Amino acid sequence: MLNFTYYIPTVIHFGCGQVSHLTELTQSGKKVLMVYGGGSIKRSGLYDRAIAILKSAGLEVFELGGVEPNPKIQSVYAGVEICKANNIDMVLAVGGGSSIDCAKVIAAGALYDGDAWDLVTNGSLIKGALPIYTVLTLAATGSEMDAGAVISNDAIFEKIVTHSPFMLPKMSIMDPEYTFTVSPRQTSAGTADMMSHTLENYFTDVPGAVIQARLAEAILKTCIENGPKALANPKDYDARANLMWAGSLAINGLIKLGAPIPWNVHPIEHELSVFYGATHGEGLAILTPPWMKLVLEKDPSKAAAFATYARNVWGVVEDDDDVAAKIAIDKTAEFFFETMKMPANLRAIGVEDKSKFEIMAEKASKNVAGGGFVQLYKEDIIHLFDLAF
Ligand code: NZQ
Ligand code: ZN
Protein backbone atom coordinates (compact mmCIF):
# COMPACT_ATOMS: atom_id res chain seq x y z
CA MET A 1 0.00 0.00 0.00
CA LEU A 2 1.36 3.43 -0.96
CA ASN A 3 1.46 6.47 1.30
CA PHE A 4 -1.53 8.77 1.19
CA THR A 5 -3.14 11.80 2.78
CA TYR A 6 -6.86 11.64 3.38
CA TYR A 7 -8.89 14.76 3.93
CA ILE A 8 -12.64 15.14 3.54
CA PRO A 9 -14.07 18.28 5.07
CA THR A 10 -17.64 17.59 3.94
CA VAL A 11 -20.16 17.37 6.75
CA ILE A 12 -22.77 14.76 5.85
CA HIS A 13 -26.28 14.92 7.25
CA PHE A 14 -27.74 11.58 6.22
CA GLY A 15 -31.34 10.46 6.57
CA CYS A 16 -34.95 11.40 6.71
CA GLY A 17 -35.71 15.05 7.44
CA GLN A 18 -32.08 16.20 7.40
CA VAL A 19 -32.96 19.00 4.99
CA SER A 20 -33.68 21.10 8.08
CA HIS A 21 -29.88 21.56 8.34
CA LEU A 22 -30.12 24.04 5.47
CA THR A 23 -30.46 26.67 8.18
CA GLU A 24 -26.71 26.14 8.80
CA LEU A 25 -25.93 27.94 5.55
CA THR A 26 -26.10 31.15 7.55
CA GLN A 27 -22.54 30.39 8.72
CA SER A 28 -21.34 31.28 5.20
CA GLY A 29 -23.14 34.58 4.82
CA LYS A 30 -26.49 35.84 3.65
CA LYS A 31 -26.79 35.45 -0.12
CA VAL A 32 -27.12 31.96 -1.60
CA LEU A 33 -27.30 30.90 -5.23
CA MET A 34 -29.47 27.78 -5.50
CA VAL A 35 -28.61 25.64 -8.54
CA TYR A 36 -30.97 22.94 -9.76
CA GLY A 37 -31.98 20.92 -12.81
CA GLY A 38 -34.91 20.65 -15.14
CA GLY A 39 -37.76 20.50 -12.64
CA SER A 40 -37.67 17.22 -10.68
CA ILE A 41 -37.25 19.12 -7.41
CA LYS A 42 -40.31 21.23 -8.17
CA ARG A 43 -42.41 18.15 -8.89
CA SER A 44 -41.26 16.40 -5.70
CA GLY A 45 -41.90 19.40 -3.43
CA LEU A 46 -38.24 19.65 -2.39
CA TYR A 47 -37.89 23.03 -4.09
CA ASP A 48 -40.67 24.61 -1.98
CA ARG A 49 -39.33 23.01 1.19
CA ALA A 50 -35.75 24.16 0.60
CA ILE A 51 -36.78 27.71 -0.29
CA ALA A 52 -38.98 27.91 2.81
CA ILE A 53 -36.16 26.75 5.11
CA LEU A 54 -33.61 29.11 3.56
CA LYS A 55 -35.93 32.09 3.78
CA SER A 56 -36.96 31.29 7.33
CA ALA A 57 -33.25 31.38 8.23
CA GLY A 58 -33.04 34.89 6.81
CA LEU A 59 -31.09 33.94 3.68
CA GLU A 60 -31.55 35.78 0.43
CA VAL A 61 -32.03 33.22 -2.35
CA PHE A 62 -30.98 33.66 -6.00
CA GLU A 63 -31.71 30.86 -8.46
CA LEU A 64 -30.21 29.10 -11.45
CA GLY A 65 -32.59 26.39 -12.67
CA GLY A 66 -32.56 24.29 -15.83
CA VAL A 67 -29.08 22.80 -15.45
CA GLU A 68 -28.99 20.02 -18.02
CA PRO A 69 -27.78 16.41 -17.56
CA ASN A 70 -24.12 16.45 -18.68
CA PRO A 71 -24.00 20.11 -17.63
CA LYS A 72 -22.79 22.62 -20.14
CA ILE A 73 -20.29 25.41 -19.68
CA GLN A 74 -23.03 27.91 -20.62
CA SER A 75 -24.86 27.02 -17.39
CA VAL A 76 -21.65 27.65 -15.47
CA TYR A 77 -21.26 31.05 -17.15
CA ALA A 78 -24.84 31.95 -16.23
CA GLY A 79 -24.23 31.04 -12.58
CA VAL A 80 -20.91 32.88 -12.38
CA GLU A 81 -22.59 35.98 -13.76
CA ILE A 82 -25.28 35.85 -11.06
CA CYS A 83 -22.60 35.40 -8.37
CA LYS A 84 -20.48 38.29 -9.56
CA ALA A 85 -23.39 40.66 -10.16
CA ASN A 86 -24.93 40.04 -6.73
CA ASN A 87 -21.96 39.36 -4.45
CA ILE A 88 -23.23 35.87 -3.70
CA ASP A 89 -21.75 34.29 -0.55
CA MET A 90 -22.30 30.58 -1.22
CA VAL A 91 -23.67 28.11 -3.76
CA LEU A 92 -26.26 25.43 -2.97
CA ALA A 93 -26.89 22.59 -5.44
CA VAL A 94 -30.17 20.72 -5.10
CA GLY A 95 -30.27 17.74 -7.44
CA GLY A 96 -28.15 15.05 -9.03
CA GLY A 97 -24.51 15.06 -10.08
CA SER A 98 -25.12 17.47 -12.94
CA SER A 99 -26.49 20.23 -10.72
CA ILE A 100 -23.77 19.63 -8.14
CA ASP A 101 -20.94 19.65 -10.70
CA CYS A 102 -22.28 22.83 -12.27
CA ALA A 103 -22.55 24.46 -8.83
CA LYS A 104 -18.95 23.51 -8.00
CA VAL A 105 -17.49 25.21 -11.05
CA ILE A 106 -19.78 28.21 -10.56
CA ALA A 107 -18.43 28.51 -7.01
CA ALA A 108 -14.86 28.43 -8.33
CA GLY A 109 -15.64 30.67 -11.29
CA ALA A 110 -17.12 33.31 -9.01
CA LEU A 111 -13.63 33.92 -7.60
CA TYR A 112 -11.83 33.76 -10.96
CA ASP A 113 -11.25 36.69 -13.25
CA GLY A 114 -10.84 34.79 -16.52
CA ASP A 115 -13.05 32.40 -18.51
CA ALA A 116 -14.49 29.65 -16.24
CA TRP A 117 -13.71 27.09 -18.98
CA ASP A 118 -10.03 27.54 -18.00
CA LEU A 119 -10.92 26.02 -14.61
CA VAL A 120 -12.39 22.97 -16.33
CA THR A 121 -9.36 22.35 -18.51
CA ASN A 122 -6.92 23.09 -15.68
CA GLY A 123 -8.10 22.50 -12.13
CA SER A 124 -4.84 23.86 -10.70
CA LEU A 125 -6.03 27.35 -11.69
CA ILE A 126 -8.72 27.05 -9.01
CA LYS A 127 -7.30 29.00 -6.09
CA GLY A 128 -10.51 29.28 -4.13
CA ALA A 129 -14.27 28.83 -4.35
CA LEU A 130 -17.38 30.07 -2.62
CA PRO A 131 -18.59 27.58 0.01
CA ILE A 132 -20.47 24.74 -1.70
CA TYR A 133 -23.50 23.02 -0.19
CA THR A 134 -25.55 20.19 -1.69
CA VAL A 135 -28.86 18.42 -1.25
CA LEU A 136 -28.50 15.17 -3.18
CA THR A 137 -31.51 13.73 -5.05
CA LEU A 138 -29.92 10.95 -7.11
CA ALA A 139 -27.55 8.24 -5.90
CA ALA A 140 -24.86 7.96 -8.54
CA THR A 141 -21.87 10.22 -9.01
CA GLY A 142 -20.66 10.80 -5.46
CA SER A 143 -20.15 14.45 -6.36
CA GLU A 144 -21.70 15.31 -2.99
CA MET A 145 -18.51 14.10 -1.31
CA ASP A 146 -15.70 14.50 -3.82
CA ALA A 147 -13.57 17.23 -5.34
CA GLY A 148 -14.47 16.57 -8.98
CA ALA A 149 -16.81 18.17 -11.50
CA VAL A 150 -17.52 17.21 -15.09
CA ILE A 151 -18.49 19.93 -17.56
CA SER A 152 -19.26 19.73 -21.29
CA ASN A 153 -18.46 22.20 -24.04
CA ASP A 154 -20.51 21.17 -27.05
CA ALA A 155 -18.91 23.73 -29.35
CA ILE A 156 -15.61 21.86 -29.21
CA PHE A 157 -16.92 18.34 -28.44
CA GLU A 158 -15.31 18.17 -25.03
CA LYS A 159 -16.49 16.72 -21.71
CA ILE A 160 -13.80 17.22 -19.12
CA VAL A 161 -13.30 16.28 -15.46
CA THR A 162 -11.73 18.93 -13.27
CA HIS A 163 -10.58 18.49 -9.69
CA SER A 164 -9.78 20.87 -6.88
CA PRO A 165 -9.88 20.50 -3.11
CA PHE A 166 -11.62 23.90 -3.11
CA MET A 167 -14.61 22.19 -4.75
CA LEU A 168 -15.18 19.73 -1.92
CA PRO A 169 -18.65 20.49 -0.57
CA LYS A 170 -18.75 22.05 2.89
CA MET A 171 -21.93 20.17 3.75
CA SER A 172 -24.12 17.64 1.93
CA ILE A 173 -27.62 16.62 2.90
CA MET A 174 -28.50 13.08 1.87
CA ASP A 175 -32.11 12.10 2.49
CA PRO A 176 -32.89 8.80 0.75
CA GLU A 177 -36.57 9.78 0.53
CA TYR A 178 -35.62 12.39 -2.06
CA THR A 179 -34.55 9.55 -4.34
CA PHE A 180 -37.94 7.79 -4.21
CA THR A 181 -38.99 9.68 -7.37
CA VAL A 182 -35.90 8.72 -9.39
CA SER A 183 -37.05 6.85 -12.52
CA PRO A 184 -36.18 3.17 -13.04
CA ARG A 185 -33.88 4.22 -15.86
CA GLN A 186 -31.91 6.70 -13.71
CA THR A 187 -31.92 4.26 -10.77
CA SER A 188 -30.18 1.70 -12.98
CA ALA A 189 -27.81 4.26 -14.48
CA GLY A 190 -26.88 5.55 -11.02
CA THR A 191 -26.24 2.04 -9.73
CA ALA A 192 -24.03 1.30 -12.74
CA ASP A 193 -22.15 4.56 -12.24
CA MET A 194 -21.23 3.85 -8.62
CA MET A 195 -20.30 0.27 -9.51
CA SER A 196 -18.07 1.61 -12.25
CA HIS A 197 -16.36 4.03 -9.85
CA THR A 198 -15.73 1.08 -7.56
CA LEU A 199 -14.44 -1.17 -10.33
CA GLU A 200 -12.16 1.54 -11.72
CA ASN A 201 -10.48 1.68 -8.29
CA TYR A 202 -10.69 -2.04 -7.52
CA PHE A 203 -8.76 -3.31 -10.53
CA THR A 204 -5.38 -1.90 -9.56
CA ASP A 205 -1.85 -3.19 -9.93
CA VAL A 206 -0.68 -1.61 -6.70
CA PRO A 207 -0.38 -4.53 -4.27
CA GLY A 208 -1.14 -4.66 -0.59
CA ALA A 209 -4.19 -2.40 -0.27
CA VAL A 210 -6.32 -5.17 1.17
CA ILE A 211 -8.74 -3.10 3.22
CA GLN A 212 -9.49 -0.94 0.17
CA ALA A 213 -10.25 -4.05 -1.91
CA ARG A 214 -12.55 -5.59 0.71
CA LEU A 215 -14.39 -2.26 1.08
CA ALA A 216 -14.79 -2.10 -2.69
CA GLU A 217 -16.27 -5.59 -2.72
CA ALA A 218 -18.74 -4.58 -0.01
CA ILE A 219 -19.84 -1.57 -2.08
CA LEU A 220 -20.30 -3.75 -5.17
CA LYS A 221 -22.31 -6.34 -3.27
CA THR A 222 -24.45 -3.58 -1.76
CA CYS A 223 -25.26 -2.27 -5.26
CA ILE A 224 -25.99 -5.76 -6.58
CA GLU A 225 -28.36 -6.42 -3.68
CA ASN A 226 -30.08 -3.04 -3.45
CA GLY A 227 -30.27 -1.88 -7.08
CA PRO A 228 -32.92 -4.50 -7.95
CA LYS A 229 -34.79 -3.77 -4.69
CA ALA A 230 -35.02 -0.07 -5.58
CA LEU A 231 -36.26 -0.97 -9.06
CA ALA A 232 -38.91 -3.31 -7.66
CA ASN A 233 -40.03 -0.87 -4.97
CA PRO A 234 -38.88 2.73 -5.56
CA LYS A 235 -39.95 3.67 -2.03
CA ASP A 236 -37.86 0.99 -0.30
CA TYR A 237 -36.12 3.33 2.15
CA ASP A 238 -33.29 1.00 3.11
CA ALA A 239 -32.54 0.06 -0.49
CA ARG A 240 -32.40 3.75 -1.44
CA ALA A 241 -30.35 4.57 1.67
CA ASN A 242 -27.77 1.88 1.00
CA LEU A 243 -27.44 2.92 -2.65
CA MET A 244 -27.07 6.54 -1.63
CA TRP A 245 -24.26 5.90 0.83
CA ALA A 246 -22.60 3.40 -1.52
CA GLY A 247 -22.47 6.16 -4.13
CA SER A 248 -20.50 8.40 -1.79
CA LEU A 249 -18.16 5.68 -0.53
CA ALA A 250 -17.33 4.58 -4.08
CA ILE A 251 -15.64 7.85 -4.94
CA ASN A 252 -14.78 9.73 -1.75
CA GLY A 253 -11.26 8.33 -1.72
CA LEU A 254 -11.59 5.55 0.85
CA ILE A 255 -11.17 2.75 -1.69
CA LYS A 256 -8.68 4.47 -3.94
CA LEU A 257 -6.02 5.93 -1.69
CA GLY A 258 -2.99 3.73 -1.16
CA ALA A 259 -3.57 1.93 -4.45
CA PRO A 260 -4.37 4.62 -7.04
CA ILE A 261 -4.72 3.80 -10.71
CA PRO A 262 -5.86 5.99 -13.60
CA TRP A 263 -9.45 5.32 -14.66
CA ASN A 264 -10.06 4.10 -18.20
CA VAL A 265 -13.75 3.28 -18.70
CA HIS A 266 -14.86 6.76 -17.59
CA PRO A 267 -12.80 8.80 -20.06
CA ILE A 268 -13.90 6.50 -22.86
CA GLU A 269 -17.56 6.82 -21.83
CA HIS A 270 -17.28 10.61 -21.79
CA GLU A 271 -16.86 10.48 -25.58
CA LEU A 272 -20.24 8.73 -25.85
CA SER A 273 -21.79 11.54 -23.79
CA VAL A 274 -20.14 14.18 -26.00
CA PHE A 275 -20.97 12.67 -29.37
CA TYR A 276 -24.27 10.92 -28.60
CA GLY A 277 -25.57 12.58 -25.43
CA ALA A 278 -25.35 9.21 -23.67
CA THR A 279 -26.58 8.95 -20.10
CA HIS A 280 -23.32 8.51 -18.17
CA GLY A 281 -24.26 5.34 -16.25
CA GLU A 282 -25.72 3.67 -19.34
CA GLY A 283 -22.55 4.29 -21.32
CA LEU A 284 -20.48 2.85 -18.48
CA ALA A 285 -22.64 -0.29 -18.22
CA ILE A 286 -22.37 -0.89 -21.97
CA LEU A 287 -18.57 -0.49 -21.96
CA THR A 288 -17.69 -2.35 -18.75
CA PRO A 289 -18.11 -6.04 -19.73
CA PRO A 290 -16.34 -5.53 -23.10
CA TRP A 291 -13.58 -3.57 -21.32
CA MET A 292 -13.06 -6.58 -19.05
CA LYS A 293 -12.83 -8.84 -22.12
CA LEU A 294 -10.37 -6.46 -23.74
CA VAL A 295 -8.16 -6.43 -20.64
CA LEU A 296 -8.03 -10.22 -20.66
CA GLU A 297 -7.29 -10.30 -24.39
CA LYS A 298 -4.38 -7.90 -23.95
CA ASP A 299 -3.03 -9.40 -20.74
CA PRO A 300 -4.27 -12.90 -19.81
CA SER A 301 -2.44 -12.64 -16.45
CA LYS A 302 -5.20 -10.26 -15.33
CA ALA A 303 -7.50 -13.28 -15.03
CA ALA A 304 -6.40 -13.65 -11.41
CA ALA A 305 -7.89 -10.25 -10.48
CA PHE A 306 -11.13 -10.96 -12.30
CA ALA A 307 -11.27 -14.38 -10.62
CA THR A 308 -11.00 -12.72 -7.19
CA TYR A 309 -13.84 -10.41 -8.26
CA ALA A 310 -15.83 -13.50 -9.33
CA ARG A 311 -15.35 -15.27 -6.02
CA ASN A 312 -15.64 -12.36 -3.58
CA VAL A 313 -18.38 -10.35 -5.26
CA TRP A 314 -20.41 -12.89 -7.24
CA GLY A 315 -19.85 -15.91 -5.00
CA VAL A 316 -18.50 -17.96 -7.89
CA VAL A 317 -17.10 -21.32 -6.78
CA GLU A 318 -14.46 -22.16 -9.39
CA ASP A 319 -10.79 -22.98 -8.92
CA ASP A 320 -9.63 -22.16 -12.44
CA ASP A 321 -8.91 -18.41 -12.71
CA ASP A 322 -9.56 -18.21 -16.45
CA VAL A 323 -12.96 -19.85 -16.11
CA ALA A 324 -13.88 -17.80 -13.03
CA ALA A 325 -12.89 -14.56 -14.79
CA LYS A 326 -15.17 -15.30 -17.74
CA ILE A 327 -18.06 -16.17 -15.41
CA ALA A 328 -17.57 -12.83 -13.62
CA ILE A 329 -17.76 -10.92 -16.89
CA ASP A 330 -20.97 -12.76 -17.84
CA LYS A 331 -22.46 -12.08 -14.41
CA THR A 332 -21.62 -8.38 -14.69
CA ALA A 333 -23.34 -8.18 -18.09
CA GLU A 334 -26.34 -10.17 -16.88
CA PHE A 335 -26.74 -7.85 -13.88
CA PHE A 336 -26.65 -4.64 -15.93
CA PHE A 337 -28.60 -5.77 -18.97
CA GLU A 338 -31.11 -8.26 -17.53
CA THR A 339 -31.55 -7.58 -13.80
CA MET A 340 -31.23 -3.77 -14.07
CA LYS A 341 -32.79 -3.73 -17.57
CA MET A 342 -30.21 -1.38 -19.05
CA PRO A 343 -29.45 -0.92 -22.75
CA ALA A 344 -27.00 -3.66 -23.65
CA ASN A 345 -25.06 -2.17 -26.53
CA LEU A 346 -24.21 1.05 -28.31
CA ARG A 347 -26.97 0.59 -30.89
CA ALA A 348 -29.50 0.61 -28.05
CA ILE A 349 -28.47 4.18 -27.10
CA GLY A 350 -28.63 5.58 -30.61
CA VAL A 351 -25.18 4.83 -32.02
CA GLU A 352 -26.38 3.83 -35.48
CA ASP A 353 -23.06 3.17 -37.15
CA LYS A 354 -19.33 3.10 -36.49
CA SER A 355 -18.51 6.36 -38.22
CA LYS A 356 -17.43 8.19 -35.03
CA PHE A 357 -15.43 5.35 -33.47
CA GLU A 358 -12.17 6.68 -34.87
CA ILE A 359 -12.56 10.26 -33.62
CA MET A 360 -13.92 9.13 -30.24
CA ALA A 361 -11.03 6.69 -29.83
CA GLU A 362 -8.51 9.31 -30.89
CA LYS A 363 -9.76 11.70 -28.19
CA ALA A 364 -10.16 9.04 -25.50
CA SER A 365 -6.69 7.65 -26.16
CA LYS A 366 -5.19 10.96 -24.96
CA ASN A 367 -7.19 10.73 -21.73
CA VAL A 368 -6.05 7.18 -20.98
CA ALA A 369 -2.44 7.82 -21.94
CA GLY A 370 -1.49 7.88 -18.26
CA GLY A 371 -2.03 4.13 -17.96
CA GLY A 372 -4.63 1.92 -16.37
CA PHE A 373 -5.18 -1.71 -15.50
CA VAL A 374 -3.81 -2.34 -18.98
CA GLN A 375 -2.50 0.42 -21.21
CA LEU A 376 -5.03 1.19 -23.94
CA TYR A 377 -4.17 2.77 -27.27
CA LYS A 378 -6.40 4.21 -29.97
CA GLU A 379 -6.73 0.88 -31.80
CA ASP A 380 -7.71 -0.86 -28.55
CA ILE A 381 -10.44 1.69 -27.94
CA ILE A 382 -11.81 1.26 -31.47
CA HIS A 383 -11.86 -2.48 -30.77
CA LEU A 384 -13.67 -1.80 -27.47
CA PHE A 385 -16.35 0.23 -29.29
CA ASP A 386 -16.65 -2.65 -31.81
CA LEU A 387 -17.15 -5.14 -28.98
CA ALA A 388 -19.78 -2.84 -27.41
CA PHE A 389 -21.62 -2.10 -30.68
O1 NZQ B 1 -32.78 17.86 -14.03
P2 NZQ B 1 -33.80 17.28 -13.14
O3 NZQ B 1 -35.18 17.74 -13.46
O4 NZQ B 1 -33.47 17.42 -11.69
O5 NZQ B 1 -33.88 15.69 -13.47
C6 NZQ B 1 -32.76 14.85 -13.35
C7 NZQ B 1 -32.15 14.45 -14.70
O8 NZQ B 1 -33.11 14.45 -15.71
C9 NZQ B 1 -33.25 13.52 -12.83
N10 NZQ B 1 -33.36 13.47 -11.37
C11 NZQ B 1 -32.43 13.79 -10.44
N12 NZQ B 1 -32.91 13.57 -9.20
C13 NZQ B 1 -34.20 13.15 -9.36
C14 NZQ B 1 -34.48 13.09 -10.73
N15 NZQ B 1 -35.68 12.71 -11.21
C16 NZQ B 1 -36.63 12.38 -10.31
N17 NZQ B 1 -36.42 12.38 -8.97
C18 NZQ B 1 -35.22 12.76 -8.46
N19 NZQ B 1 -35.02 12.74 -7.14
O20 NZQ B 1 -32.30 12.58 -13.27
C21 NZQ B 1 -31.73 13.02 -14.48
C22 NZQ B 1 -30.23 12.86 -14.40
O23 NZQ B 1 -29.69 13.77 -13.44
P24 NZQ B 1 -28.12 14.04 -13.41
O25 NZQ B 1 -27.85 14.98 -12.31
O26 NZQ B 1 -27.65 14.38 -14.79
O27 NZQ B 1 -27.57 12.58 -13.08
P28 NZQ B 1 -26.28 12.08 -12.33
O29 NZQ B 1 -26.39 12.31 -10.89
O30 NZQ B 1 -26.07 10.71 -12.81
O31 NZQ B 1 -25.12 13.05 -12.87
C32 NZQ B 1 -24.50 12.80 -14.11
C33 NZQ B 1 -23.38 13.79 -14.36
O34 NZQ B 1 -22.35 13.67 -13.37
C35 NZQ B 1 -21.09 13.44 -14.00
C36 NZQ B 1 -21.49 12.73 -15.26
O37 NZQ B 1 -20.49 12.72 -16.24
C38 NZQ B 1 -22.71 13.51 -15.70
O39 NZQ B 1 -22.33 14.70 -16.33
N40 NZQ B 1 -20.18 12.75 -13.09
C41 NZQ B 1 -19.68 13.44 -12.04
C42 NZQ B 1 -18.74 12.90 -11.19
C43 NZQ B 1 -18.16 13.66 -10.08
N44 NZQ B 1 -18.50 14.90 -9.88
O45 NZQ B 1 -17.35 13.15 -9.33
C46 NZQ B 1 -18.24 11.54 -11.37
C47 NZQ B 1 -19.04 10.72 -12.31
O48 NZQ B 1 -18.23 9.70 -12.82
C49 NZQ B 1 -19.68 11.44 -13.43
O50 NZQ B 1 -18.78 11.56 -14.52
ZN1 ZN C 1 -19.12 8.03 -13.12
256 plus 380 within the same structural domain: yes
The answer to whether 306 and 329 are in contact (CB under 8 A) is yes
Element (H, E) at 355: none
By the CB criterion, residues less than 5 angstroms from ion ligand 2 are: 193
Each of the 389 residues of the chain gets a pLDDT tens digit; together they read 999 999 999 999 999 999 999 999 999 999 999 999 999 999 999 999 999 999 999 999 999 999 999 999 999 999 999 999 999 999 999 999 999 999 999 999 999 999 999 999 999 999 999 999 999 999 999 999 999 999 999 999 999 999 999 999 999 999 999 999 999 999 999 999 999 999 999 999 999 999 999 999 999 999 999 999 999 999 999 999 999 999 999 999 999 999 999 999 999 999 999 999 999 999 999 999 999 999 999 999 999 999 999 999 999 999 999 999 999 999 999 999 999 999 999 999 999 999 999 999 999 999 999 999 999 999 999 999 999 99
CATH number at residue 129: 3.40.50.1970
The answer to whether 368 and 331 are in contact (CB under 8 A) is no
Q: Tell me, yes or no, whether 301 lies in a domain.
A: yes
pLDDT of residue 345: 98
The closest ligand to the CA of 285 turns out to be 2
pLDDT of residue 287: 98
The best mutation among 249, 280, 288 to test binding of ligand 1, ranked by most ligand atoms within 8 Å of the C-beta, falls on 280
pTM comes to 0.98
Q: Tell me, yes or no, whether 3 lies in a domain.
A: no
**Ligand 1 residue neighbourhood (C-beta within 6 Å):** 37-41, 44, 69-70, 95-99, 101, 137-138, 140-143, 146, 148-150, 178-179, 181-182, 186, 190, 193, 251, 266, 280-281
Count of positions (residues) in the chain: 389
146 plus 88 within the same structural domain: yes
CATH number at residue 320: 1.20.1090.10
pLDDT of residue 77: 98
Residues 6+ apart with CB under 8 A from 253: 6, 8, 146
Spacing, Cα 358 to ligand 1 middle (Å): 28
Secondary-structure breakdown of the chain: helix, strand, coil percentages, each rounded to the nearest 5: 55, 10, 30
**Alpha-carbon 356 to chain mean position:** 24
The answer to whether 373 and 202 are in contact (CB under 8 A) is no
The count of structural domains within the chain is: 2
Distance CA 171, CA 94 (A): 12
**Atom of ligand 1 at shortest range from CA of 67:** 1
Domain limits for position 342: 184-388
209 plus 278 within the same structural domain: yes
**Alpha-carbon 358 to chain mean position:** 26
